Chain A
């Protein structure tokens, strides 16, 4: 390269914006730099960490036992012991909500991960390969979408949780994951198709880049944003989906506690006492919101144009 000599050209002024430059940097490095200074990111991250802690070690947050229900305390108000009072069965609402985090988060996150993985693979393959593979996968998506969710979930969940010993968590995760990936796949497919036809992909192909490089370096980074949005929304849907299934009797079983179950149980009594309905709902909403904010912040950090 040293035998290249600079051709004298018109003076080209510097770019319009940007920070002082140092050594080579990467998109991920720049994204992290950006995230570190983002308020939204930190708020969301703290919330998510708290919820995860709650799910892992509920005893850190409460010494009460959610299954210690005394009918005499039925519908009692908040007191020193029970922050949010007691529900219609005399269970500690605060304890129930804290302990509910575990299965709710477990189900929500795992089901979303399964759906996301399925959606990513199907969408990427369909969008990138096109042709008959795309046709086949798109039909598959249509078929899954055509199954009425409740009906499909009941059948599937029943099937999966035939073992009377299990608490039903795995069955619910698999059910929600297997039925929930279609939107993610569709969004991924169309984002991949539009990214695939961009000139910069052409340029990379011309340089001799193989399919793996094209996908990982060029197509995925430019196609992932709408997918991330779909996933964060899906997380909320899945936590609520667990509730629906549990309410219908095909979800969590035995003496399981989850936000979904708690909301479902408290619904009919909401007129008498609101706390057992309100608090799990607030926790659920805050958790979903935290994940959505986290998703947004990360997505924005990976878009250099927004910097």
Chain B
């Protein structure tokens, strides 16, 4: 069993100096009865150690599919990765044999989901599921594995971990289950953690607990974190950089302060203006008219043009190129100057 790890170190092309994670021009489509849904249409992302990258966007814009493609857990069919690369330390995961991929998945890149209950196996105790990870991937002895399971539960601050390690998932509350999920994801010390809406199902007070736990664990381990969410508030609190997705594309990527202060894409700007604020009672909310497009039938040119207040003829005709407007800022909007107000 230790050989999974061993083989991993021998991954051909693995370069410790290469960027931690880089996604280039990723394309994923779903071939269904109703036609081909182009869920991801050329996503570019990168992630450095210790960094938090937030991926935001409305539901259905392809956030989860992107994450699942990175993890290699999409079901084919209906999903087909039709192009691009996912580079982990220089190795293209999309071209890796499935056995190697599985090793990467457990040891290097881990993921937690919105619905922790369905992600845990209901018929085994939480402790057993944690210990199993150590036994399978590290060849740890039964006793040692159990000890480390307790230690992990302790780290994610489950009170009375020694006793609760023998409980079943349904015996935990929503927040506690999400902690267990985090413990499972971190068990093998991954370098990258992808969290797909980890707090969407939780109350704000519990959300605050989970987010602070995640931030702390990330700091301790110098781990790269991809946080997928639709909550612009959570993002403002924790992210270093933000990638805004719309209709399967990253339309803007920017450091968090810049993005909120000077959104460089018409969609980002409209999105930020449509959020009611806790800290003041504002004017009537400004709205984005219309609906997100059907992925089976994407608008021509810039996919946002039917809803965009800045749109002009060219937006309908030409897809906007990616402009690098500052060293770490990329935006795909024909009228970035107007949007920025410069």
Residues on A lying within 8 angstroms of B by beta carbon are: 10-13, 16
Contact = CB atoms under 8 A, between A and B. Distances in A.
B289 A10 contact: yes
Given A10-B289, A13-B289, A13-B290, 6 more contacts: A10-B287, A11-B289, A11-B290, A12-B290, A13-B291, A16-B294
B140 to A, nearest CB: 45
Contacts of A11: 289-290
A282 to B, nearest CB: 33
Question: Chain B contact residues (Cβ within 8 angstroms of A): what range?
Answer: under 10
Interface string B257-287: 0000000000000000000000000000001
Contacts of A13: 289-291
A13 to B, nearest CB: 5
Contacts of A16: 294
A76 B287 CA distance: 83
Contacts of B287: 10
Contacts of B290: 11-13
Interface in B284-303: 287, 289-291, 294
A16 B290 CA distance: 12
Nearest to B291: A13
9 contacts: A10-B287, A10-B289, A11-B289, A11-B290, A12-B290, A13-B289, A13-B290, A13-B291, A16-B294
A65 B276 CA distance: 84
Contacts of B291: 13
A97 B231 CA distance: 70
A16 B34 CA distance: 13
Across the A-B interface, the 4 shortest Cβ-Cβ residue pairs: A10-B287, A11-B289, A10-B289, A13-B290
Contacts of B289: 10-11, 13
A66 B291 CA distance: 68
A71 B37 CA distance: 68
B37 to A, nearest CB: 13
A147 to B, nearest CB: 35
Interface string B10-26: 00000000000000000
Nearest to B290: A13
A7 to B, nearest CB: 12
A15 to B, nearest CB: 10
Nearest to A11: B289
Interface in B196-251: none
Nearest to A16: B294
Nearest to B287: A10
Nearest to B293: A16
Contacts of B294: 16
A280 B294 CA distance: 52
A62 to B, nearest CB: 45
A10 B290 CA distance: 8
A125 B168 CA distance: 37
A10 B285 CA distance: 11
A11 B289 CA distance: 6
B238 to A, nearest CB: 31
A10 B289 CA distance: 6
B7 to A, nearest CB: 47
A16 B294 CA distance: 8
Nearest to A13: B290
Contacts of A12: 290
A262 B289 CA distance: 69
A2 B291 CA distance: 30
A10 B291 CA distance: 11
B33 to A, nearest CB: 11
Interface in B63-95: none
A300 to B, nearest CB: 14
A13 B294 CA distance: 13
B309 to A, nearest CB: 12
B299 to A, nearest CB: 12
Nearest to B34: A17
A10 B270 CA distance: 14
A12 B294 CA distance: 15
Contacts of A10: 287, 289
A21 to B, nearest CB: 19
B84 to A, nearest CB: 28
A10 B287 CA distance: 7
A12 B291 CA distance: 8
B276 to A, nearest CB: 15
